[in-house]
Structure 1
Amino acid sequence: MQIMRQTLDETDRRIAAALLAAPRASWRALARCLELSERTVVRRVTPLYADGTLRATVVRNPARFPHLIPLALRIRCRPHKIRQVAHALARRADTVWVDVLSGGDEISTIFFLDGPDARNTLLLRDLPATDAVDSWTSHTLLRVFPTAFRWTAGLLSPEERARLTPEPPPPTAPPAPLDLDTALIAALTEDGRATYTELARRAGTTALTARRRLDALVRGQVLRPATEIDLALLGAHAEALLWIAVRPGALQETARILAVHPQVRFCAATTGPANLVVALAAADLDALYTFLTDAVGPLDGVTALDTTPLLATVKRTGLIRHPSRTPGPSDPKEGA
């Protein structure tokens, strides 16, 4: 089992932050952005990927896959069974993230479900048949605001971010699906930094074709390259989900304002009484409080707010989270 590190020094943290902003950036681009030597970047980053502290993947945009139904669930569980339920959810291929919320009896999870049958099976059969589950609410993701994905924990200056990720060109229309897309997506899900040669081998094509196709998929917002890391290693010790009720006429503008806030790492409009969900990564509880009062407070369209701090993350960007230490003898075992 891989065990993630418990601390990173300042240089490692800045390299990790740069990889959050540009998951497939070359070592040379990272070195230029951070004013380090390319050799230093390689020497620093290689062990971070080797021990699982950093992991690279891609996440599909459900808006570009008509058969996918993106669903956020808040699941209330019996507290002594919550680890068992969370790990069972994380093992499912159709969950993207799984978080245990701070009350210790609730899980938040995002599903990308393969059509109405899969949705109905989950909501009408699987969850009702799970004895440890008491109740749940479901929220369909209507629109995800991609600007929130540029979160870097405040470790990069605006100038550094601009050097690393110049203002991207306007998104293109999504390209028509090709047979090689399935193999490309599978390879990138396993290793988001796979070389074009490796992608070509997996997809049965040439490296040039793999490169052009991946560029088309990213520019068409079909795929989003992603870097997975425990955000506490970057100084974010207060993560929370905000379930915000916004007047419909103010929803677009409220989401636009919050999505570009430097502490917001995810923002999506949803169905349900709370029609905007925001994932926040703040330095500490005082920073979380300041966000609520100074960023959310002045927004006239907000009518209600439910703040749910995260107790533990079990899965993020489709990857099951590795432990940051070896479990002790008193820790609950999966399935206990």
Structure 2
Amino acid sequence: MFLDSLPESAALDELDLRLVTVLQGSPRADWREVGAALGVDPSTAARRWARLSEAGNAWFSCYPTGLEGVPLIVAFVEVDCAPGRLYEVAAELAGDPHVFTVEHVTGGRNLVLTCAFGSLAELARYTGMRVGTLPGVAASRTQIATALHTEGSRWRLDRLSGGGRGGPVRVAGRTEPGRSAVRRDDQELVQVLAEDVRQSVADLARRTGLSPTTVRRRLRRLEDSGALVFRCEVARSLSGWPVSVSLWCAAPPGETARITAHVSGMREIRLCASLSGPHNLLLAAWLRSIDDIHAFESRLVASVPELRVADRAVTLWPVKLAGHLLDPTGRRLGSVPLGRWDQSAVAAAEAALLGRLPERHPPG
């Protein structure tokens, strides 16, 4: 599935990297604004982006941080695969719409999934009746994110210093993501927008049946409230930060707030999450080279002596990122629209399990 028609390797030049940086800060900016920030003609900026996108070297994601009336539970699921079944399992799980990322990693697990659920019961059904029964899965372990302190939408290439003639364009999502949720009457607009982040207000209005004024007002509210996240991603192998490492850490509970605030501000950090397990912090960092892994860990521990690194894993293949399917070099191949998990497939298994439980009799 993933190995068909892999694109050839190609480096990005400085203008490409600066273009991605601008679009990371303002994904829906007009090409005139983008061109001004880069010091190039708008048509040049648009043409450059089309080339990057068509090659799978850069792309957009758009998703809500929560839905009105639906609690959001983020979980990290570690999966051990039977010999020879790893990519079969990865391809199957990458097709699940609520699975945000799938990574093939080194160390004591084969795959790490990042998933979103509407309840603990939904998480239990997925890990026990979907992952746990999937052919090729030998074992799995799950931890819940009790807090997300920073995540990939906030990471930037930062290639604009001394670059373009114009000032920086506006930044989307000025408040912290997760402070609000997408209202039910906004869900259709969000679904349409996720297909192409740069659709015009007129196109969004036509496709949703809303007026342009209403679309513009709702988009502004969604962005300003942090209910909607935009991401402009670049293939990791072409970003200048080709190595991704995950660190499971232990921090004193009383120091967690201070430690996570410091760690989240480090240049390399893409993810900082508090966990429910004995290793209560999960960090993910993009680094310049394999040689940087131990150097980065040394800097991390030196700056936060209370932090203990308990385990580490290097990503070998980012199979899925924010709903997009990637090749082994991190280029985009396609997408799986993010959404809630359809639990109907496990209904029979759940009924069979409940049928085997002892019958409860009322007291007396």
With the length of structure 1 as denominator, give the TM-score of the two structures: 0.85
Task: Decide which moves more: 2-11 or 277-286.
Answer: 2-11
2:54 aligned with 1:50, yes or no?
A: yes
Q: For residues 62-86 of structure 1, give each alpha carbon's deviation from its aligned partner in whole angstroms, at most 9, with x where no partner exists.
A: 4876333211111111241111111
The aligned counterpart of 1:333 is none
Does the CA-based 8 Å contact 1:76-1:136 persist in structure 2? yes
The aligned counterpart of 1:330 is none
The aligned counterpart of 1:288 is 293
The aligned counterpart of 2:32 is 28
**Match of residue 169, structure 2, among 161, 164, 168:** 164
CA distance 1:198–1:57, change in 2 (3 Å)? farther
2:51 aligned with 1:13, yes or no?
A: no
Task: Decide which moves more: 85-94 or 133-142.
Answer: 133-142
2:111 aligned with 1:138, yes or no?
A: no
Q: For residues 263-294 of structure 1, give each alpha carbon's deviation from its aligned partner in whole angstroms, at most 9, with x where no partner exists.
A: 11222222111222222111112333222111
Aligned partners of 1:290 and 1:162: how far apart in 2? 35
**Across the two proteins, how many residue pairs are aligned to each other?**
325
The aligned counterpart of 2:183 is 177
**Match of residue 254, structure 1, among 253, 259, 268:** 259
Does the CA-based 8 Å contact 1:100-1:312 persist in structure 2? yes
Aligned partners of 2:131 and 2:234: how far apart in 1? 29
Task: Decide which moves more: 81-90 or 278-287.
Answer: 278-287
The aligned counterpart of 2:338 is none
The aligned counterpart of 1:192 is 197
Which residue type is aligned with residue 302 of structure 1? Answer: L
CA distance 1:303–1:269, change in 2 (3 Å)? same
2:159 aligned with 1:121, yes or no?
A: no
Does the CA-based 8 Å contact 1:70-1:141 persist in structure 2? yes
Which secondary structure state, in structure 1, belongs to the residue aligned with residue 303 of structure 2?
Answer: coil
Q: Which has the larger radius of gyration?
A: 2
Aligned partners of 1:229 and 1:65: how far apart in 2? 33
The aligned counterpart of 1:213 is 218
Give the alignment of 1:68-83 within 5 angstroms.
68-83=72-87
Aligned partners of 1:165 and 1:220: how far apart in 2? 15
Kindly state the Cα deviation for residue 301 of structure 1 after the two structures are TM-superposed: 2.9
RMSD: 3.0
Kindly state the Cα deviation for residue 188 of structure 1 after the two structures are TM-superposed: 2.2
Aligned partners of 1:198 and 1:292: how far apart in 2? 47
Aligned partners of 1:288 and 1:26: how far apart in 2? 39
Unaligned stretches of 5+ in structure 1? 327-336
Which residue type is aligned with residue 270 of structure 1? Answer: L
Kindly state the Cα deviation for residue 155 of structure 1 after the two structures are TM-superposed: 2.7
2:255 aligned with 1:277, yes or no?
A: no
Which residue type is aligned with residue 45 of structure 2? Answer: V
CA distance 1:206–1:56, change in 2 (3 Å)? same
